[in-house]
A and B are shown apart, each in its own frame.
Chain A
């Protein structure tokens, strides 16, 4: 229902679009691309596994609200622009034509997205009507995406620098597959996504979970090293040194121990 409401909003704002500027369009376009990808993924997951992912749906709603916000900005900037409209008639005429074209492009893509969502809705409905099959739980609720797929999607977001999506994806993975081989990796990448977002306190907390929950996992030395680097960013040199020493002591043969030693040398704690 919320989705339909958002679509309504978008179409209302779309009619104001001709007053928008390029920046807004780039934003809208990139959000649309994300949206299309997310809907595609959702469709694939529904078609292939007969299930749906809460995270994905949440992400789609997030993206939609981002578009709505940008469209709002476009509307408010319309008034400012109308003041300057006496300049450069030709250019403006050209620009408006360009913008109109872009609007129709966006409209076309939005209707594709809408179509996709309607299909998904239909699929979900038809799944609910059918009896539980092997892929569904006892209460008829669909089982989530396959662990590999969910992990790969989150990792892809991490590689692309979409850290918010990556964190959500890995949290989703951990809540469902917290005892699998890649669980420690997922926890580590949550920490590293937070680190890359410069949320160093949260990162330290997440890295700590790697060490306490998966002490024998292969990401433990990296988690300790990165907490040390996070403490450095927070100017807490004492805690940082503690972490670097811990890596060297606990995992002396790891690649991270050598990096930690390099850090201790830079800090003057150990001599070269």
Chain B
């Protein structure tokens, strides 16, 4: 009997030991599968006309290093190992010196920058150390104030080519979010690294729940411009705002369909007493209610195919995630456990849905992802205040969210396995971040 018990314990511990490994979902490659880069840094190019170039060089080098590290694809070799420094052009590159090193270096990145006639000129090359092949050669000419942008572009080009388009790089993407103002909330946008923050709305009202159009030209959001919540479109280029032409005294949490032609939102329309999920064209036509029931239905998110919608409903008691198709057929609850679930966001590859959840008996919200086909749930944040409103990066490798772990709510970013958490804002009162699509 005792032996049996021992065997049982052994099996159980084996199962426990094995299962977490299967259950974790890891973003970064294993050390032996890593691509190793030698980023030798940009040098001052010949014929430079402005001493400010030192500042730009520092920015270029710093931003590119941080972008490549944050992509999660590469390991950057420490500069102390570099046999050659100050490579400006390919002619100066001596492959034998790099190959002689007993280090696993896959690619070398170098280049130069100069200011000519008030233009910033940046040249960048990537070479394969083993084969000696040129992998990338790019030249940029722009105004010096766009120096960060150039570094982001270079990073995206490197990520695209070295990952064979698994990712097109997210360094040029942006994040929109709501920030508390003296009288309400305004929408702000920033680069993916938290830099370059600027205000998008200035209507001294309450502006909430922004979401990008697939081509990043528009942002749909909830606003109290008409004294009650309605849905509006902001043209990102010229700042103009249009109202969605649907009548109702409570319209909120809009989201674009993946083809950008339709919009899904939660609304309490005439004749109904509780919010349902609606889908309509951008001009308000072809309006259909896909969740006709007595509960509150809110926060829709499209699957990447555009044929499914996940949303939050309290029809079964506490707010939980449901999936239905865009006609409202075959609604299904995804997670049977209780607690409070909110703000789902479907991953770009369709496999996962990220959401925030306060499980029954817990005091805090955390970020979780659920694998839709298997219904396996992975917890990404833990023991750090409330963590809410997740949004996927367009390559599905990162998640942006809000957290009050440092006091007031600010915007944070992490790998989609919960590692490498980076704080992006320090204003306080920041909510509902939404990651843009690729900027091509």
Contacts and interface: CB of A to CB of B under 8 A. Distances in A.
B260 interface: no
A159 B310 CA distance: 11
A172 interface: no
Interface string A191-215: 0100010000000000000000000
A93 to B, nearest CB: 8
A259 B133 contact: no
A78 interface: no
Nearest to A32: B164
Interface stretch (A49-57, A62-70, A122-130, A150-158): A150-158
B329 A222 contact: yes
A253 B71 CA distance: 49
Q: Tell me the interface secondary structure of chain B in the complex.
A: loop
B137 to A, nearest CB: 5
B104 interface: no
25 contacts: A26-B165, A94-B134, A97-B134, A101-B133, A104-B131, A106-B164, A109-B164, A148-B374, A152-B374, A156-B351, A159-B305, A159-B350, A159-B351, A159-B372, A161-B305, A161-B306, A161-B307, A188-B330, A219-B330, A225-B329, A255-B328, A256-B328, A256-B329, A262-B288, A262-B289
Query: For this complex, into which size category does the number of interface residues on chain A fall?
Result: 35 or more
Given A26-B165, A29-B164, A33-B166, A98 B327 contact: no
Nearest to B288: A262
A186 interface: no
A159 B373 contact: yes
A246 interface: no
Contacts of B281: none
Given A160-B350, A229-B327, A102 B164 contact: yes
Of A32, A151, A153, A222, chain B has the most CB atoms within 10 Å of the CB of: A222
Nearest to B374: A152
Contacts of B350: 156, 159-161
Contact of B325 (A30, A155, A192): A192
Contacts of B408: none
Contacts of A156: 350-351, 372-373
B118 interface: no
Given A33-B166, A94-B134, A97-B137, A161 B304 contact: yes
Nearest to A152: B373
B308 interface: yes
Contacts of B161: 98, 101-102
Nearest to B349: A160
A255 B331 contact: yes
Contact of B373 (A33, A98, A153): A153
Contacts of B200: none
B292 interface: yes
A196 B134 CA distance: 44
B330 A98 contact: no
A136 interface: no
Nearest to B135: A101
Interface in B263-310: 271, 288-293, 303-308
Nearest to B323: A159
A245 interface: no
Interface in A123-154: 148, 151-153
Contacts of A262: 288-289, 292
A24 interface: no
A222 B328 CA distance: 9
